[in-house]
Amino acid sequence: MNRRDALQRMGIGMGYSLSAASLASLFHACQSEASTSTTAASEALPSAFFQPGEARAIRGLLDILLPATDTPSASELGVDRLCDLILAEVYSPENQAAFRRGMQHFFTDFADDRALGNATAAQLRTLVERHTTQLSSAERTRVESFWQGSEAPSDPALLPEYERFRFWRSLRQLAIAGYFSSELIATEHLVYLPVPGPYQGCIPLEDVGGTWALR
């Protein structure tokens, strides 16, 4: 199955949210691109959605969200390539435009794509903290209202903040779903059963045996 057919059959281009189960199927349908799932290869390949500087900065953000510990980082698993693919070939033009606007609001510290591509890990981490852990009380209240509502705020002055929030939430959703749908994480770090057995609706919690891969 080629990449575009896999995306079309998934039917997941319905907005910003993607289920982990759906993304797992997409990840496997695109296994022919597994050779790209290293940081070096990701940097060498052209992006379908991001500009070069954006792609490098997004890769850095993903590694802040999912750094290398006893498991690989997001970029080592090619999650940045998967995000780029989904944004380019699954998101509607309207959602692409909304994501890009939010991304631009997020990266306002950088004058152009070249400057963004040269952003250091420390600069990106400072940016993430500014928009997450260092929010003022009023900003936190607004973010909570953004979580609870699906409509953009009526006040035009709040639109940049709203779109920045939507960008960050979407990137996190893509990152987490893509990461835990990768073959290495599913088979080596989660409980993995290639051929599922019978459905058991009520079993003791201790028999579950850990977090299961969505396969």
Exposed / middle / buried, residue 157 (Cβ in 10 Å: 0-12, 13-18, 19+) = exposed
- pTM of model > 0.75: no
pLDDT digits (tens, 9 = 90+) for 173-199: 999 988 888 888 878 877 777 766 777
Decide which of 31 and 71 is more confident.
Answer: 71
Alpha carbon distance 161, 131 (integer Å): 10
- pLDDT of 10 over the 80 cut: no
Q: Does 20 have pLDDT greater than 50?
A: no
| pLDDT tier, 87 (very low <50, low <70, confident <90, very high otherwise) | very high
Confidence of residue 15 (pLDDT cuts 50, 70, 90): very low
Q: Which two tokens stand for residue 215?
A: 């396969």
Residue 188 one-letter amino acid: E
Q: Which two tokens stand for residue 88?
A: 């380019």
Q: Is the CB of residue 101 less than 8 Å from the CB of residue 16?
A: no
Across the chain, mean pLDDT equals 79
Task: Provide the pLDDT for residue 79.
Answer: 92
Q: Residues 106-119: what's their mean pLDDT?
A: 94
Is the pLDDT score of 73 beyond 60? yes
High-pLDDT (> 70) share of the chain, %: 73
Quick: pLDDT tens for 57-71.
999 999 999 999 988
Cα(135)–Cα(183) distance, integer angstroms: 36
Residue given tokens 């500087």 in the structure block: 53
- Residue that wins the pLDDT comparison between 149 and 66: 66
Which tens digit of pLDDT belongs to each residue from 125-146? 999 999 888 888 888 888 888 8
